[in-house]
Chain A
Amino acid sequence: DAGVTQSPTHLIKTRGQQVTLRCSPKSGHDTVSWYQQALGQGPQFIFQYYEEEERQRGNFPDRFSGHQFPNYSSELNVNALLLGDSALYLCASSLRGFNQPQHFGDGTRLSIL
């Protein structure tokens, strides 16, 4: 049973470019959340998708957008990249519900030059 898979594992971009990160949730999970983790910091919530709609959003600008597909997989898009966007981007999947455990992927390491 595959867990959460993310691609690519590493990515290097330059300022102003656009990037798309991908996430396949754990089998049976229908909810996907995205997090940004700067070096030495805890993850920061970006947004959460359920039933192909953005349900909740953290304090991130509109440059950050996402999508969830009918098969529950998800994409995170970031436009007009800034140096400060360099971070580990984590995807987590779960079932609906407050007390459902989240399963994390190993993330995509994004470096902006």
Chain B
Amino acid sequence: KNQVEQSPQSLIILEGKNCTLQCNYTVSPFSNLRWYKQDTGRGPVSLTIMTFSENTKSNGRYTATLDADTKQSSLHITASQLSDSASYICVVSAERGSTLGRLYFGRGTQLTVWP
């Protein structure tokens, strides 16, 4: 069964600190892995997309890693800011016979940054 599991479910950190969010998946055949940030009441916004051959990708203070062998990914946030408070969702795309991939979403990690 294609699944995406994220941990922790929620996380509270102090402003300026770093944190790491985890994602494990069983989606097959794998196409790519994406991290999204979703602010309350808004749609998800893409942070990174990584294919099988990529094992790290950065977007500002966000750095995602991918281990396709163990089917694990992490999202590291450095020097956290109050605006980082949001849900972070791991999404894995499965290849299909057509050119249209299918996306599998995790439940997200709710990050709260305190001043």
Which B residues lie within 8 Å of A92 (CB)?
Answer: 43
The segment from B14-22, B60-68, B72-80, B99-107 found at the interface with A is: B99-107
Q: For the complex, is B46 an interface residue (Cβ under 8 Å from A)?
A: yes
B105 CB contact (under 8 Å) in A43, A98, A99, A105: A43
Asked if B43 and A55 make an inter-chain contact with CB atoms under 8 angstroms apart, the answer reads no
Q: How many residues of A are counted as interface, with CB atoms below 8 angstroms from the partner's CB atoms?
A: 28
Complex-state Cα separation, A35 to B51, whole angstroms: 23
Q: For the complex, is A73 an interface residue (Cβ under 8 Å from B)?
A: no
Asked if B100 and A106 make an inter-chain contact with CB atoms under 8 angstroms apart, the answer reads no
Asked if B101 and A98 make an inter-chain contact with CB atoms under 8 angstroms apart, the answer reads yes
Residue ID in chain B nearest A44 by CB atoms: B105
Which A residues lie within 8 Å of B102 (CB)?
Answer: 45, 48, 56
A residues with CB within 8 A of B: 4, 31, 33, 35, 40-45, 48, 50, 55-56, 90, 92, 96-99, 101-107, 109
